Amino acid sequence: MERILRVNGGKPLTGEITVRGAKNFVPKAMVASLLGTQPSVLSNVPRIRDVDVVSELLTLHGVRVNYDPGAGTITLDPSNVESAHVADIDALAGSSRIPILFCGPLLHRLGEAFIPDLGGCNIGGRPIDFHLDTLRRFGAEVTRTETGTHISAKNGLKGTKIHLPYPSVGATEQTLLTAVMAEGLTELSGAAIEPEIMDLINVLQKMGAIMSVDTDRTIRIEGVKELSGFRHTSLPDRIEAASWASAALATKGDIFVRGAHQPDMTTFLNTYRKVGGAFDISDEGIHFWHPGGELNSIVLETNVHPGFMTDWQQPLVVALTQARGLSIMHETVYEDRLGFTSALKEMGANIQTYRECLGGLQCRFGQRNYRHSAVISGPTPLRAADITVPDLRGGFSYLIAALAAEGTSRVYGIDVISRGYEHFLSKLRALNADVELEN
């Protein structure tokens, strides 16, 4: 049964919480362990749903997984990798986007793989064409079935030249995880260079891979015959850190985010300062607060790294409803990531969405049928409402909106949020939020 959270809002969030490893890195490092001949140990692993899904998938393929959530350490022993039953894999379909990244490692280890149809957030079409094209270029045979994709490479995988039409995070990771043990050289141009990808490169290098990254988004990989295990500590979750920062701003609060890491967040921090938020950076984390007075409206567009992350957009939009004047948010990564604004409108926000590209860039979604630009006019007080979580980041934004709104809101379907926010209920309580589970 979907859980409902009752939120008595209108009070600032104050206090301290800790963020651990990045949701968009940890599961991928876990997949990389499949490539090794030795066990790997990953630290700073958060207790989130995606970690559980990948642990289950790895276990189905014969990897011995040992997770200590308190210590945040996971040990992965791939010495007995084997094929899993399609029915067992199928049972995990639809709960995450990570399974597609098993392709390269399983092809190297077993010569074939079955990948269930993917889940993840409903924020656009989220095709996997780049992934499948990439695998074909390495020499894999790809066959679509009713419930997923069957991939085989009986004659091994060979290095190749790949150009991504868009710097996709997942397709870049797919290429890295496949190229490291493919025969010969691979050159990937148009690659994504998000910090989580750089940390995956760190892991692969620790395992024995040979790869270099150029400033022009080109990654070159020299395939090796064998990789060992790794010991690694995950980079912190910069999306979770920014989400709490936006919560501090929207609720006129004051939050110390232990573990937040400035180098991965410079674009967010610049924006936060322009909006009028205050922060103080230390070695232990970042302290975020609303300094009083009015917030400023801004013009912003989401983009691939080093741009403003799409995953930072939804929580910040809630804070922008409290800024004076017109803010423009142009979403250029996903065609359908502004749907969550409809509930904010019901809560009193003044937001219009447009098909046009508003702002500087003409993006892939302009002149098509996607409402991917928003104009937010503020400040507007938010009213309590009954709202249903639409997706992971949208869901966290609804929590922020309910916490900022006067009165009692009910947030339905909060379990989606635990896909990417570790212990969010206890963190909310630690920040003095007045929240209670209804069922």
Catalytic residues: 121
- Provide the β-strand partners of residue 219: 188, 213
Phi, then psi, of 8 in degrees rounded to 5: -95, 105
* Given 420, 422, 428, 431, the residue binding ligand EPU (CB under 6 A): 420
Q: Which of 13, 53, 76, 169 binds ligand EPU (CB under 6 A)?
A: 169
Q: Quick count: other Cβ atoms within 10 Å of Cβ 330?
A: 26
Q: H-helix or E-strand containing 397?
A: helix 392-404
Interacting residues with ligand EPU between 335 and 374 (CB under 6 A): none
CA distance 160 to 166: 18
Nearer to ligand EPU, 184 or 306 (CB): 306
> What does the DSSP 8-state code read for residue 280?
E
Binding positions for ligand EPU, 222-261, rule CB under 6 A: 239
Tell which residue, 196, 198, 187, 197, has the closest CA to residue 164: 187
Q: Which residues share a beta bridge with 210?
A: 222
Contact residues for 94 (Cβ-Cβ < 8 A; gap 6+): 116, 117, 118, 119
Question: Where does this chain touch ligand EPU (CB under 6 A) — which range of 108-116, 118-126, 138-146, 267-275?
Answer: 118-126
Stretch that binds ligand EPU, among 59-67, 105-113, 129-137, 254-262 (CB under 6 A): 129-137
* Rounded-to-integer distance, Cα 172 and Cα 194, Å: 10
Residue 170 interacting with ligand EPU (CB under 6 A): yes
User: Quick one: which segment of 8-16, 128-136, 260-268, 395-403 binds ligand EPU (CB under 6 A)?
Assistant: 128-136
Residue closest to 44 by CA, chosen among 31, 65, 25, 63: 25
Question: Binders of ligand EPU among 21-60, rule CB under 6 A?
Answer: 23-24
Shortest Å, Cβ 162 to ligand EPU: 12
Give the chain's end-to-end CA distance (angstroms, integer): 9
Build a one-symbol-per-residue string for 294-333: x at contacts with ligand EPU by CB under 6 A, - elsewhere.
Answer: ---------------xxx---------------------x
Stretch that binds ligand EPU, among 5-13, 58-66, 127-135, 355-363 (CB under 6 A): 127-135
- Report d(CA 150, CA 324) in Å as an integer: 53
Q: Using the rule CB under 6 A, is 407 a contact of ligand EPU?
A: no
Q: Give Cα separations from 401 to 57, 193, 232, 241, 409 (angstroms).
A: 35, 32, 36, 17, 9
88 binds ligand EPU (CB under 6 A): no
* Cα–Cα separations (whole angstroms), residue 102 to 80, 89, 98: 16, 12, 8
Instruction: Count other Cβ atoms within 10 Å, centred on residue 44.
Output: 21
Of 180, 199, 40, give the one whose Cα is nearest residue 107: 180
Residue of 65, 103, 171, 414 interacting with ligand EPU (CB under 6 A): 171
89 makes contact with ligand EPU (CB under 6 A): no
Whole-Å CA distances, 168 to 133, 251, 252, 306: 13, 34, 35, 13
Applying CB under 6 A, among 68, 82, 88, 129 the residue interacting with ligand EPU is 129
Residue 392 binds to ligand EPU (criterion: CB under 6 A)? yes
Residue 369 C-beta: closest distance to ligand EPU, Å: 15
Q: Which of residues 7-26 bind ligand EPU (CB under 6 A)?
A: 23-24
Nearer to ligand EPU, 129 or 284 (CB): 129
Q: How many alpha carbons lie under 13 Å from residue 413 in its C-beta half-sphere? A: 13
CA distance 248 to 12: 7
Comparison of 180 and 392: residue with beta carbon closer to ligand EPU: 392
CB of 192 to ligand EPU, least distance (A): 6
Q: Does 168 contact ligand EPU by CB under 6 A?
A: yes
Question: Which lies closer to ligand EPU via its Cβ, residue 130 or residue 256?
Answer: 130
Q: Does 127 bind ligand EPU (CB under 6 A)?
A: yes
Interface residues with ligand EPU (CB under 6 A) are: 23-24, 97, 121, 124-131, 166, 168-171, 192, 239, 309-311, 333-334, 392-393, 420
